Amino acid sequence: MRNVTCSMGVSLDGYIVGPDGSFNWSEPDEELFRFVTDEIREVGVHLMGRRLYETMLYWETADQDPTLDAPMLEWAALWKPLPKVVFSSTLSTVQGHARLASGGLAEEIERLRAEPGEGDIAIGGATLAAQAAALDLIDEYRPRVHPVLVGGGIPFFPREERRANLELLDTRTFGSKIVYLRYRVVR
């Protein structure tokens, strides 16, 4: 069965976006960018909300940008053909290898898990990830903890009264002092 993973940059105080809507503190350095590129190789399909979809839309044509360096071109080459499912109540069309979700989050994940295919089912975007967590659909959390306190904003972990026991699978500290943690949900 395919794992559902949630991998995002997060501040030490637990936010993926600060109170001003900014996440510029989470831009990866070269070492972390290579790591994230390797991580996306393990993804078979990426689920995302409208805001993340619109943010990542650049990568659908990024290979045409003459200013991109080799690592960014490599990322674009991996991202562009990756199947994506977009959850939105406002979009009527999507581009590239994306499709609009035809059902609810639980139904989409159940269908994707039942289909033949390789690679993780990655969830991106705080709102969608919070919905998946509330439905107990996430198998692994993979936060990349940045050494910054932003004081508020959009939390990485939903603030619902629900306990989830986790088992640490992996940890890595990058030269930039960003710490990667990989936890499996214990059911």
DSSP the chain: -PPEEEEEEEETTSEEE-TTS--GGG---HHHHHHHHHHHTTEEEEEEEHHHHHHHGGGGTGGG-TT--HHHHHHHHHHTTS-EEEE-SS-S---TTEEE-SS-HHHHHHHHHHS---SEEEEESHHHHHHHHHTT--SEEEEEEES----SSEESS--SS---EEEEEEEEE-TTS-EEEEEEEE-
pLDDT digit string (tens) for 51-96?
Answer: 999 999 999 999 999 999 999 999 999 999 999 999 999 999 999 9
In order of start, what are the domains of the chain with their CATH numbers?
A: 4-186 (3.40.430.10)
Answer yes or no: is pLDDT of 172 > 80: yes
Euclidean distance between CA atoms 74 and 34, whole angstroms:
10
- Which residues are bridge partners to 84 per DSSP? 46, 98
Say whether pLDDT at 40 is over 80: yes
Among 74-78, 89-93, 148-152, 155-159, the least confident range: 155-159
Residue partners of 115: CB distance under 8 A and separation at least 6:
none
Q: Confidence class of residue 157 from pLDDT cuts 50, 70 and 90?
A: confident
pLDDT of amino acid 1? 82
Q: Which amino acid is at 7?
A: S
Q: How confident is the model at residue 23 (pLDDT cuts 50, 70, 90)?
A: confident
Whether residue 28 is predicted with pLDDT greater than 90 in this model: the reply is no
Q: What percent of the chain has pLDDT over 90?
A: 79
Residue 178, pLDDT score? 96
pLDDT for the residue numbered 46: 98
pLDDT at 62: 92
**How wide is the angle at C-alpha 18 spanned by C-alphas 156 and 101, nearest 5°?**
50
What pTM, to 2 d.p., does this model score?
A: 0.92
pLDDT at 159 > cutoff 80: no
pLDDT at 21 (0 to 100) = 82
